[in-house]
Amino acid sequence: MLRVAVVGASGYTGVELLRLLRGHSGADVVCVTSRLHEGLPIAEVFPSLSGHYQLLCEPLDVEAIAARCDVVFTALPHKTAMSVVPGFLNSCCKVIDLSADYRLKDRAVYEQWYQTHTSPELLDRAVYGLPEICRDQIAGADLVANPGCYPTSIALGLAPLLHNRLVHLSSLIIDSKSGMTGAGRGAKLGSLYSEVNEGFRAYGVASHRHIPEIEQTLTSIAGETVKVSFTPHLLPVNRGILSTIYADLKQDFSTHDLLEFYRVFYRGEPFVRILKEGDMPNVANVRGSNYCDIGLVSDERTGRVVVVSVIDNLCKGAAGQAVQNMNLMNGLRESQGLDLVAAFP
């Protein structure tokens, strides 16, 4: 039985980790931390956990936590994570970091988009945690950088096209929409119900921090430099990401032909579902699950393909993928603890 700590348990990602781990037969959560709620029962912070956890929120003491844990999930903000991850690794814990601190391999790129990096020596050691693309590397890792939610939906939506060199790389345009939980649990003016309800807006246009991660991942898949136009939008829903991706095809392919490329590429993948011709994904059909649903259309009039990819931003986009990575790192069944039917409606 793996002894697990959730460091930073009072955010949306933290409570989602606890929800998933409660049903995991190979993991036992022995520690949760929260600076804001130190000393309070985690079930008091999140009443949804009542009857499932009796743990108190602890202070973040790396040595004390590492002494009784095998695996640590760091669900902390950027910069805060990099201050504690080295200590957990030095104590022989395996770490799945859900911040952006170890996703980007180039220190200069990270510092351009975020802040000064205090443990750059770990950037090469960290494995990017997208199982469908990096499964073998994840299995041998002790530090996994869990991908961002937007990059997950986009990389899974584009991977078969890039792998098979079916599209012109200079033509990639990505239009993504995220539910409100993607903005975190902290109180912000832009996250207030009255500010978001019945609204729909773009933000971070040509400047969102996920752009370098998206481009790094797609470049790795394509084997050559990829740059994208990426525009995120805020949806007035709690959960879900829907990414619509446009690309110019190198030659004529029917929708049927392109779907076959996707089915072959994702054959055997437990969490990627390719929809049948004529169907398009809906965020409602993946809510609370670790699935990514993908549909597409070949627009023969324009010579483009339009791909639609949906995930739950808190599950496949964060906590669910982190549990998937924990399973791979520890030789467990990849879908253990994640055999969940989506909550519909």
pLDDT at 345: 82
pLDDT at 314: 97
pLDDT at 57: 98
Pick the residue with more confidence: 74 or 193? 74
CA distance 207 to 3: 39
Task: Give per-residue burial for 239-268: e unless 16+ CB within 10 Å, then b.
Answer: bbbbbbbbbbbeeebebeebbebbeebbee
pLDDT at 189: 63
Question: E-strand spans in the chain?
Answer: 2-7, 27-33, 57-58, 71-74, 94-97, 127-128, 143-145, 173-178, 201-202, 229-234, 241-248, 272-274, 292-299, 304-311
- Break the chain into its structural domains and give their ranges: 2-125, 149-313
Is the pLDDT score of 124 beyond 80? yes
pLDDT at 294: 99
Q: Which CATH superfamily is domain 149-313 in?
A: Dihydrodipicolinate Reductase; domain 2 (3.30.360.10)
CA distance 304 to 302: 5
DSSP for 157-199, please give it.
Answer: HHHHHHHTT-B-GGG-EEEEEE-GGGG-SS--GGGSHHHHTT-
Helix (H) or strand (E) segment spanning residue 21:
helix 12-22
Q: How confident is the model at residue 310 (pLDDT cuts 50, 70, 90)?
A: very high
Is the pLDDT score of 187 beyond 60? no
pLDDT digits (tens, 9 = 90+) for 247-274: 999 999 999 999 999 999 999 999 999 9
Q: How confident is the model at residue 198 (pLDDT cuts 50, 70, 90)?
A: confident
pLDDT digits (tens, 9 = 90+) for 80-104: 999 999 999 999 999 999 999 999 9
pLDDT digits (tens, 9 = 90+) for 203-231: 999 999 999 999 999 999 999 999 999 99
Torsion of CA 159, 161, 162, 167, to 10 degrees: -150
The catalytic position among 57, 93, 149, 315 is 149
Q: How confident is the model at residue 197 (pLDDT cuts 50, 70, 90)?
A: confident
Alpha carbon separation from 214 to 54, 128, 226, 330 (Å, rounded) = 39, 12, 9, 27
Q: Residue range 173-198: average pLDDT?
A: 78
pLDDT digits (tens, 9 = 90+) for 150-178: 999 999 999 999 999 999 999 999 999 99
CA distance 322 to 215: 21
Q: Residue range 40-60: average pLDDT?
A: 97
For residue 135 the two structure tokens come to: 């499964």
Share of the chain above pLDDT 90, in %: 92
Q: What's the mean per-residue pLDDT of the chain?
A: 96
CA distance 173 to 287: 25
- Residue 149 annotated among the catalytic residues of the structure: yes
pLDDT at 186: 64
Across the beta sheet with 272-274, the strand order is 201-202, 229-234, 173-178, 241-248, 304-311, 292-299, 272-274
Is the pLDDT score of 144 beyond 90? yes
Q: Residue range 65-78: average pLDDT?
A: 97
pLDDT at 199: 84
3-state secondary structure 87-105: HHHHCCCEEEECCCCCCCC
CA distance 184 to 257: 40
CATH topology of domain 2-125: Rossmann fold (3.40.50)
Residue type, 119: S
pLDDT digits (tens, 9 = 90+) for 264-307: 999 999 999 999 999 999 999 999 999 999 999 999 999 999 99
Residue 322, phi-psi category: left (phi > 0), alpha (psi -120 to 50), beta (remainder): alpha
